[in-house]
Chains A and B, each alone.
Chain A
Amino acid sequence: MALGGLHLCKKCSFFLGVRKLCSDLQQSARFLHSANVQFSSIPQSTFAARPACGPAWPVGITGRFHKPPQTETWKVTVCQYSDTTGVTLAGRDNQQLPADPAQTGLISKQSLFGTLPLSDSQAPLLDLDGSPPLAPFEEISEEEAVQIHAAPALPTVSVSLGDYVDRSETLQQLLKLGVNLSKLEQRPNVGSMLLRLDFHADVKDRLLFLKDVGVGDSRLGTFITHNPFILTEGLENLRARATYLRSKKFSRESVATMVSKAPYLLNFSIERLDNRLNFYQQTLGLSTEKTRNLVVRLPGLLCRSLEPVKENLKVCELELGFRPNEIQHIVTAVPKVLTANKKKLTEIFNYVHNTMGIPHALITKFPQVFNSRLLRIRERHLFLQYLQRAQYDPAKPSYISLHCFVSLPDRVFCSDVAKATLEDFELFQKTL
């Protein structure tokens, strides 16, 4: 929605189009779309249920704010209309205003918005052309004075959620959970989506559902940071998908691990999940138990597309020359091979097989070489070669297993495997 432009979003035009909407709500919806509105705090109930108008919502952002303790008689505000869309408000209790002048006033404004239904006759209308009902120096009681809460206006359009977090309950609760709002606001439309959510109506139920599934309290924050769209997914769908996973004989803990590791998992339909599970079982030729283990280790397999996985399998079979049973073993030990970069996979294999001279069988035994970086493998191999300790054949003495070669941290590698100091290794790195 344009700032200062008088365009209605679908939601508000829907509300305006609802018959028998009381006119103060119409006014409120119209105030919604005027720019430069100053407002007081907004009652928490939904649009349709609001007893009186709560004007001055910023354009483009709709959300729920803290309900102040005393809101039973909300003050209808009077707009000082100018030709521009600037609106200023003063507070006053509900009043029965003369219908006709207000009606004419409304109609003249309505023409700007296209066709709008006429208001009910009994609703109080504002006399826009007459003098304002509340004079600035009129005396009001102490109680009313205390309840006036004039806060600075929220910006109508902002690039940061920090402008709204002090007044939005949803954002404050998400912050308490540990959600990284600075990352979410960079994603397109996510910020507006979060502001539109109501904590008690939308967010709370889904958080409780996630707790039921088994995602730990401390992990809810990171979960929502990765996947904020779980808060807009239908609860019935989410429950159905969780039930589906349990029906496939995944234990409760497995489902919890899978959902924590792959936050987008429950956003996918049951057909898609089923399709992928079947694919992995058929292509890899694994038993149901092993497929389940594979998917629990890397639940991202169920979220991503299958084309890269098919290509990686082809690469393993044709370029790298592994047999099907070897591929099965590698994939069950290191599932990441299925989603790894093909170029890096071939480079590592090329170095390990051709330069280091390690045969297929031995690589199959230690598939974690595919997890590490080529630079690391190269430096360590050249260091061992320089020290004349590069012996990778298990049949011969002083054999160095690929597991020690790849998985140990530098300090332990230098002291135990290479029998040298870390400083020697660094000096050697500078000669490469």
Chain B
Amino acid sequence: MRTPATRLYRSLEGLFAVYKPAGVHWKLVRDTVETNLLKGINSAPPPALRTQVKFLLQSGAGSEDHKEVTLRPVRLPVLADHPLVTGPEFQKLRVGVGHRLDVFSSGVFVLGVGNGNAKFKEMYERYNTRDYTLEGEFGRATDDFSHDGRVIERTTYDHITCDKLERVLATIQGANQKALLSYSNVDMRSQEAYELAVRGMLFPEGKTPPILTGLRCLDFQPPRFTLEVQCMNETQRYLRRLLHEVGLELRSSAVCVVIRRLRDGPFTLQEALTRQRWTLPDVAQAICQDHSIRRKRGKAFSQGAE
């Protein structure tokens, strides 16, 4: 029997993005979203109770000595179906996570509901890049490369200029570009490589170490600086180490203050839901939007192929 709650449950299938705040474990985010969605689904009105015919004994009309005993059919509700006896209709919802963010970082965090979880495989096995904003601070080196770790080293940073920083970033980007080409499993001297490169389809396949496809400096105000990074197969700890190595290259040291993810595959900041919007209607709307975008992209792709 399709109750309103069942209909809601079945219709909730797809991917959506939330904005994970810093200082919160990703599992807590996933659990909170699941709890809120279940609350919304279970708040749908419950179906009416089943009824059952029961026969009750009743003494009918008759003389004083000899009362006739008859059975009276009565339709009574089956109490075993009462919501206080059965509990909420749905107690678990399959909410899966995409690429995880650690406790220190914040940003776009993709979640999937129900059968939408199957789309993760497709999303992450293909070529998929992510955008980050890294804010660093010169002058310190810590054990876990973040600003609230145990300080190992203090250095000066007056000698650092924007120019020197950009030169270091260019070196790093060059090395990563080489890695990108070498992991693409295509012979660089072939015609195929040229054609792929012309179309912009030259990218790594399969398991690779973290590769930065783009790196630039957004802001430089010593001791603080901000970098924008596009990367693939990365972890947040790798990005913090990247900042530390940038500091080392500049003959100083640096720690990471903020890591923010701006984009994970096709999901950007615009679509990400803030904490106040982790409720059933907003999530359902976000999933619908994602579906319509995919359909449009699919149509455009098939039209392009023609």
Binding site for B on A (CB under 8 A): 68-70, 143, 146-147, 160-163, 165-166, 171-172, 175, 178-183, 374-375, 379, 410, 426, 429-432
CB closest chain-A residue, reference B107? A430
Query: Are A432 and B22 in contact (CB-based, < 8 A)?
Result: yes
24 contacts between A and B (CB under 8 A): A68-B57, A69-B59, A143-B69, A146-B69, A146-B70, A147-B57, A147-B69, A160-B85, A162-B81, A162-B86, A165-B79, A171-B79, A175-B85, A178-B84, A180-B87, A181-B85, A182-B86, A375-B275, A379-B21, A410-B276, A426-B276, A429-B274, A430-B272, A430-B274
Question: What A residues does B22 contact at CB under 8 A?
Answer: 432
Instruction: State A147–B69 Cα separation when bound (angstroms).
Output: 8
B contact patch SS: mixed
B 4-30 binary contact with A (CB < 8 Å = 1; else 0): 000000000000000101111000000
Residue among A143, A375, A410 making CB contact with B23, cutoff 8 Å? A375
Residue among A162, A374, A379 making CB contact with B85, cutoff 8 Å? A162
Question: What A residues does B294 contact at CB under 8 A?
Answer: none
Instruction: State A175–B86 Cα separation when bound (angstroms).
Output: 12
B 277-291 binary contact with A (CB < 8 Å = 1; else 0): 100000000000000
Name the distance in Å between B227's Cβ and chain A's nearest Cβ. Answer: 16
Instruction: State A374–B59 Cα separation when bound (angstroms).
Output: 69
Chain B interface residue bracket vs A: 20 to 34
Instruction: State A71–B199 Cα separation when bound (angstroms).
Output: 90
CB closest chain-A residue, reference B133? A431
B269 CB-CB contact with A under 8 Å? yes
Query: Are A165 and B85 in contact (CB-based, < 8 A)?
Result: yes
Question: What A residues does B71 contact at CB under 8 A?
Answer: 146
Instruction: State A160–B87 Cα separation when bound (angstroms).
Output: 10
Instruction: State A70–B68 Cα separation when bound (angstroms).
Output: 12
B 69-102 binary contact with A (CB < 8 Å = 1; else 0): 1110000001111101111100000000000000
Query: Are A70 and B85 in contact (CB-based, < 8 A)?
Result: no
Query: Are A166 and B80 in contact (CB-based, < 8 A)?
Result: yes
Instruction: State A375–B58 Cα separation when bound (angstroms).
Output: 66
Query: Are B84 and A426 in contact (CB-based, < 8 A)?
Result: no
Q: A69-B56, A166-B78 provided; 20 other pairs, C-beta below 8 A?
A: A69-B58, A70-B69, A147-B57, A160-B85, A161-B85, A162-B80, A163-B80, A166-B80, A172-B79, A175-B79, A179-B84, A180-B87, A182-B84, A182-B88, A183-B87, A429-B19, A430-B272, A431-B260, A432-B106, A432-B260
Query: Are B57 and A69 in contact (CB-based, < 8 A)?
Result: yes
CB closest chain-A residue, reference B52? A166
CB closest chain-A residue, reference B79? A165
Question: What A residues does B58 contact at CB under 8 A?
Answer: 69
Name the distance in Å between A361's Cβ and chain B's nearest Cβ. Answer: 28
Question: What B residues does A183 contact at CB under 8 A?
Answer: 87
Instruction: State A389–B88 Cα separation when bound (angstroms).
Output: 46
Instruction: State A161–B85 Cα separation when bound (angstroms).
Output: 7
CB closest chain-B residue, reference A347? B23
| Contacts A147-B57, A375-B21 given; does A175 touch B69 at CB 8 Å | no
Question: What B residues does A179 contact at CB under 8 A?
Answer: 84
Question: What B residues does A429 contact at CB under 8 A?
Answer: 19, 21, 274-275
Question: What B residues does A426 contact at CB under 8 A?
Answer: 274, 276-277
Instruction: State A432–B23 Cα separation when bound (angstroms).
Output: 11
Question: What A residues does B69 contact at CB under 8 A?
Answer: 70, 143, 146-147
Query: Are A182 and B85 in contact (CB-based, < 8 A)?
Result: yes
Name the distance in Å between A300's Cβ and chain B's nearest Cβ. Answer: 24
| Contacts A166-B80, A432-B21 given; does A182 touch B274 at CB 8 Å | no
Query: Are B21 and A182 in contact (CB-based, < 8 A)?
Result: no
Instruction: State A410–B56 Cα separation when bound (angstroms).
Output: 58
Residue with the greatest number of chain A CB neighbours at <10 A, chosen from B24, B80, B260:
B80
Residue with the greatest number of chain B CB neighbours at <10 A, chosen from A68, A166, A426:
A166
User: Which residues between 227 and 267 of chain B lie within 8 Å of chain A, taking CB atoms?
Assistant: 260
Query: Are B84 and A181 in contact (CB-based, < 8 A)?
Result: yes
Query: Are A166 and B79 in contact (CB-based, < 8 A)?
Result: yes
Instruction: State A46–B78 Cα separation when bound (angstroms).
Output: 27
CB closest chain-A residue, reference B19? A430
Name the distance in Å between B155's Cβ and chain A's nearest Cβ. Answer: 25
Question: What A residues does B274 contact at CB under 8 A?
Answer: 426, 429-430
